[in-house]
Chain A
Amino acid sequence: MAEDRAVNPPNPDGQAETVNPLLTRREFLVGAGAGAAVTAVAAVGIATISGRGAVVTQHATAPAGAPVAPPGQFTDPTAGRMLNLRVNGQAYQVAVPARATLADVLRYQLGLTGTKIGCNRAECGACTVVMDGKNVYSCTQMAFASEGKDILTVEGLATDTSSFEGLHPIQQGFILKDAPQCAFCMSGQMMSAYALLKTNPRPTEDQIKYALSGNICRCGNYNHLWDAVAWAAEHMA
């Protein structure tokens, strides 16, 4: 019966069993949520988001689908010092308080909520981003120490989030090998995988485990995570 269904991409492993990724534009819309008060503002040019805590001046077009409205007021909008950040290839100018971590600014001021905070003290890895090619815990990386760095978050991985083809091979591998369960840790896992594959394009299973060992998956899907990273390595070459 497999031939009756759109298999996309066709059987990447050459294995007998076919994994059918259900990836449609429609599903992406399901994800945005029925009834949830979702305001995804795809900003073009200069977007000033006031009343949400921060004045964010954005100099580039946001990637399609990336939520820009941050989830609430993190701090007094009139306080803080202006900071220049480069995230996912875009320049941001944002006023942040001295205590703000990079995770705080990404999530609550830039609206890049794909980076999660699980522990807020460098224990769980949910907040992992790639900074100048290395995976770092953004919950313990001070925002002011992030100026001048090249920062990559999960929102910067895909070229187009409306289809499987537009995803980064790491994301594709994670889907095909069913790495996510609750998926709260997944951005962090993928960013660690990204940093690994940059320096070691064909890692062994042990190297994958060590490289991702700072990222806890409480759903315990480690076996599938190893398979997912291995799949990505194979398809990034």
Chain B
Amino acid sequence: MAQITTKFVGQPITRIDSIPRLTGLAQYTDDIPLPPRALHGVLIHSPHAHARIRRIDSSRAEASPRVVAVLDYRRADMKYRWFAGDRANERLLFNETLRYHGEIVAMVVAEDRVAAEDAARLVQVDYEILPHVLDGEEALKPGAPRLHERGNLIGGRPSLYERGDVARGLAEADFIVDEEFVTQFQHNAQMEPRAALAMWEGPKLTIWTPTQGITSAKNGLSQDLGIPQSNVRVICQYMGGGFGNKNGAQNIDTLVAAASKALGRPVKLWMGRPGDMFELHGRWSTKQYYRVGFKRDGTVTAVDFRGVSNMGAWQKSSGAIYGARDMLDTDNVRAEVQAVYTNQQNAGNFRAPPDPQGVFSMGQVIDMAAERLGIDGRELPEFNIKVATKKADQHEEYTSYYLPECITTGAQAIGWRETWHRPASRQLPDGRWHGLGMAWGTWGAGLGMGSAIVKINADGSAHLLVGVTDVGQSGKTTMMLLAAEALDLPPERWKVTSGDTDVTGYTVGESGSRNTGHTGPAVIAAALDAKRKLMVEAAALLRVQSSDDLTAADGTIFVTSDSSRSVTYAQAAARGGGSIIGSGFTRERVPQDMSREAWVVGFAEVAVDRLTGQIQVTRYVSVHDSGRIINRLAAESQVHGGVTMGIGMALFEELLWDRATGYHINPNIHDYRVPTHLDVPRIQAIFLDIPDPYGPMGAKPLGEPPIVPVVGAIANATYNAIGVRMKQAPMNPHTVLAAIRGVRS
């Protein structure tokens, strides 16, 4: 395998913005001092799951002290569509028909927030309550309440993937694993509530907003508002998590921009909670049906899959379910997914959006098949290697494929052979039951377009300007390390400016684990361009014919044939007017007929209390083929985070609605429980650290993968502990005890 020798890449490096992040100096959107005459908005949310507004009386609110306006669907100057919130592009900022509990009804705007909050209580809305439907499958039945004219099945038909002949494959099977699985609505529940601040200077809009993609936010606002892209400036210096629900421009960005335009003054909106729980999306819940055929020798003959994804009132994402098409080595697959509108709030992207749902099921299907085949549980890792995909869609070679190595490395780390036991056969001294389980998955490692600027200053330091926003993944530091490597200038000599569309160029955005693959090559190109220009200056200073006669290393440029003749980067840059500017624009592609994937395997050890139904994860090993690791310290943090969210999804996170009324039951982060310090074990992150032939310095994605197999691994571990299959997530005491009793919760 290829070895790349690097100086800075691959080291554990602390974050370039650690000090502002840990001293209170970092300004998140709600911390930014307001421009003069700024107004404050407060939202009114729908108290019904499905209703039509008959009448709004805002007169008392408007007459309140310091109130400027009440904005709702009646205002012609607020009739904007919000594309990111609805793929059919029919969603308005304010809608006359409200389709979920918590949907935005109106915004009260006042001189200060307290006045706006008080006035919001005075707005009288008369609702005509309509029948609602919460469940995806019920929404597909004839006579179900309709969310939209076009019907509840999104796109009017299921999405369908087929290869081979599933009927024949199933007929050839010696046995069929025929199972149903259910997964829940998991809310992103990021710490920072959404906020936005908009200001117009003539035709030009500046918006401060926490976004995972300044370019797509700019383009989204331009489209929503009908103004040129160049008239939109998006600034996001720091943001407090999003994990997919701050992709691009969200409705409140367009809302504050439109309100600011309509009222002629800057407007700020801070969502707070529960508003943020209503308006920002979470992972779509699913119902999944599988028939997977196996031969007695373990060969997979077919995967027949049908799934239903509950997307809520509007379509914000695909509703895809990973696994059936992707995971097993079989020629015969039929995978059909119905994405459905319901009167739940919107579902959308949450860390590896379609993956954990599918691996929860497919990971267990593999486990069940092994048991039916009578495979010794100690050989389960090898069985997983055997049935796993070898080529994408059976014909595309993977650019690098170290799944088997991930599996064997992880099995060794957790002591699989020595520790595995028959299901429900090892009771711990405290009365709980010990279990061990594994699951695996992939994350698409596409490549794409990126841009960057590198400046070399007269003092020999360098400055990287790149659109990548640091959403917590350490993106700024990662980009700097690639540039540092290319320019051979140590990290402490770098400065990074990011997160401002007026200062930096195109960036793909902080989603899909794409930053390194898309923007990384551009950063390297910009650094090399700057270096080339620096060498021209150095050649003149050293009086050599061409910069080809020179070598640059560690902040010094010397004559290759005579290293005693040298200049520093600073001297060369100073000759270049104090600022050598290099630019990079790259468009990388994965070769045709190849597939580039990051591979991930999770091994979980659990202790299960059969009396209370409580599962505790006592150990977790996460093994990654993510190509070359750029920054080992941040990489470990990413793995810990993904696994922790997976534990939350596995054991307790679930946004709930009351069936009778359609009201949210737990739209806060106390009743919607996310993992705390007490819920996670020590998590062991292992990186194979083998470069991929493509991608910047051989790196593949890492942010999304860790969560992919967690729920499946914990489900398998739970089966190993108590001998009961968990077919419904979350595996909380309620569902575990129901499964023990043999009933569905």
Contact = CB atoms under 8 A, between A and B. Distances in A.
A181 B31 contact: no
Contacts of B11: 2, 18, 20
Contacts of B322: none
B192 A76 contact: no
A121 B640 contact: no
A108 B113 CA distance: 10
A118 to B, nearest CB: 5
B262 interface: no
A23 B241 contact: no
B12 A17 contact: yes
Interface in A142-157: 153-155, 157
A175 B31 contact: no
Given A36-B208, A36-B235, A71-B34, 17 more contacts: A20-B14, A26-B461, A34-B465, A35-B235, A52-B33, A71-B27, A72-B40, A73-B112, A73-B113, A107-B31, A171-B23, A175-B14, A175-B22, A218-B243, A218-B674, A220-B643, A223-B683
B530 to A, nearest CB: 18
Interface string B475-499: 0010000000000001110111111
Contacts of A178: 12, 14-15, 633-634, 636-637
B665 to A, nearest CB: 15
Contacts of A161: 19, 23, 25
Given A37-B35, A66-B24, A219-B637, A21 B18 contact: yes
A120 B193 CA distance: 10
Closest 6 CB pairs of A and B: A114-B24, A220-B644, A31-B20, A184-B240, A182-B472, A181-B472
A153 B238 contact: no
B13 A22 contact: yes
A202 interface: no
B677 interface: yes
B24 A187 contact: yes
Contacts of B643: 220
A223 B503 CA distance: 36
A20 B112 contact: no
A22 B669 CA distance: 34
A4 B489 CA distance: 10
Interface in B660-688: 668-670, 674-678, 680, 682-683
B272 interface: yes
Interface residues of A, number: 99
A44 interface: no
Contact of B66 (A27, A76, A120, A124): A76
A71 B190 CA distance: 21
A220 B461 contact: no
Interface string A59-98: 0000001110111111110000000000000000000010
A186 B21 contact: yes
Interface in A32-68: 32-39, 51-53, 65-67
A213 B670 CA distance: 13
B418 to A, nearest CB: 24
B269 to A, nearest CB: 11
B678 A213 contact: yes
Contacts of A65: 23, 25
Secondary structure class of chain A's binding surface, majority of residues: loop
A27 B495 contact: yes
A225 interface: yes
A209 interface: yes
B237 A23 contact: no
Given A39-B33, A69-B33, A5 B492 contact: yes
Interface in A2-24: 2, 4-6, 17-24
A65 B670 CA distance: 35
Contacts of B474: 181
21 contacts: A4-B490, A19-B12, A22-B491, A31-B19, A34-B237, A34-B500, A53-B112, A67-B25, A71-B33, A75-B113, A76-B111, A116-B191, A124-B191, A161-B25, A183-B26, A183-B238, A209-B677, A213-B678, A218-B190, A220-B642, A222-B675
Contacts of A72: 33-34, 38, 40, 113, 268
A74 B65 CA distance: 14
B36 interface: yes
B86 interface: no
B313 interface: no
A37 B33 contact: yes
A1 interface: yes
A180 B19 contact: no
A143 B322 CA distance: 50
B642 A183 contact: no
B680 A28 contact: no
Nearest to A170: B22
B233 to A, nearest CB: 8
A237 B237 CA distance: 36
Interface residues of B, number: 95
Interface string B102-130: 00000000011111000000000000000
B192 A182 contact: yes
Interface of A: 1-2, 4-6, 17-24, 26-39, 51-53, 65-67, 69-76, 97, 99, 107-108, 111-121, 123-124, 126, 153-155, 157-158, 161, 164, 167, 171, 174-176, 178, 180-187, 190, 208-210, 212-226
B273 interface: yes
Nearest to B670: A123
B471 interface: yes
A38 B492 contact: no
Contact of A76 (B30, B115, B494): B115
B32 interface: yes
B16 interface: yes
B680 A222 contact: yes
A234 to B, nearest CB: 18
B114 A75 contact: yes
Given A73-B111, A184-B241, A216-B669, A116 B192 contact: yes
Given A71-B32, A119-B273, A119-B668, A171 B22 contact: yes
Tell me which of B115, B677, B682 has the highest count of chain A C-beta atoms within 10 A of its own C-beta.
B677
B547 interface: no
A119 B642 CA distance: 22
B608 interface: no
A32 B25 contact: yes
A37 B500 CA distance: 12
B676 A76 contact: no
Given A157-B23, A178-B634, A22 B191 contact: no
Contact of B680 (A19, A174, A220): A220
Contact of B239 (A22, A34, A182, A185): A182
Given A28-B25, A73-B38, A22 B240 contact: no
A116 B28 contact: yes
A113 B66 CA distance: 25
Contacts of B496: 30
B445 interface: no
A122 to B, nearest CB: 8
B636 A28 contact: no
A217 B272 CA distance: 17
B376 interface: no
Nearest to A113: B31
B13 to A, nearest CB: 5
Contacts of A118: 191-193, 240, 273, 669
B549 interface: no
Given A22-B477, A28-B25, A123-B669, A6 B492 contact: yes
A155 B28 contact: no
Nearest to B12: A19
Interface in B210-255: 233, 235, 237-241, 243
A217 B238 CA distance: 16
A5 B490 contact: yes
A119 B268 CA distance: 18
A90 to B, nearest CB: 15
B543 interface: no
B189 interface: yes
B627 to A, nearest CB: 20
